[in-house]
Amino acid sequence: MKGKYVRENHCGHAVLTSSLASGVWRTICKLWPTFLEGITLRLGNGASVKFWIDQWVEGQGRLLPFALKELTKEDLNASVNEFITVDGRWNWTKLRNNLPTWGGGRGRFDVVAL
């Protein structure tokens, strides 16, 4: 279903509709952004969750508005696991270079282990 009705764009996912769609489907499309605000993804190994676009930090929403630099298409498609070191820890240098920081030099967000 996602492959047929949902398309990714630079701001995340957009639901497709047309003038021939049922009233129920048009309502779903209209409410889709509100629906996305209410979900949080489970990370697993972080490979299928997009760092900037998906809502994966509990209570925070998407991280895109907090980016310290303009992001390329490649940056936008980066998955969470690209911010993890080979030994399974957060790459704090990469996080500090991309997100605002405060207190102790750690990332602005409370990030828990995968």
Q: Are residues 26 and 53 in the same domain?
A: no
Report whether pLDDT(96) > 90: no
Q: Are residues 33 and 51 in the same domain?
A: no
Q: Are residues 44 and 95 in the same domain?
A: yes
First-to-final CA distance of the chain: 28
Number of domains the chain contains = 2
Report whether pLDDT(51) > 90: yes
Position 114 scores a pLDDT of 38
Q: Are residues 12 and 67 in the same domain?
A: no
Position 32 scores a pLDDT of 74
Buried b (16+ CB within 10 A) or exposed e, 20-35: eeeeeeeeebeebeee
Q: Are residues 29 and 45 in the same domain?
A: no
Q: Are residues 57 and 15 in the same domain?
A: no
Q: Decide which of 6 and 11 is more confident.
A: 6
Q: Which domain holds residue 16?
A: 2-37
Q: Are residues 32 and 46 in the same domain?
A: no
Q: Enter the pTM of the model.
A: 0.58
Span 9-31, mean pLDDT? 65
Share of the chain above pLDDT 70, in %: 65
